[in-house]
Amino acid sequence: QTVVTQEPSLTVSPGGTITLTCASSTGAVTSDYYASWFQQKPGQAPRALIYSANNKHSWTPARFSGSLVGGKAALTLSRVQPEDEADYYCLLYYGGVWVFGGGTKLTVL
Q: Which chain residues interact with another protein by CB under 8 A?
A: 1, 34, 36, 38, 40, 45-48, 51-52, 55, 57, 89, 91, 96-103
Provide the 10 A C-beta neighbour count for residue 60: 18
Q: Which is nearer to another protein, 62 or 97 (CB)?
A: 97
Minimum separation from the CB atom of position 13 to another protein (A): 26
CB of 94 vs another protein, minimal distance in Å: 10
Alpha-carbon gap, residue 17 to 90, rounded angstroms:
18
Burial class (CB in 10 A: 0-12, 13-18, 19+), 54: middle
Residue 92 CB, nearest approach to another protein (Å): 10
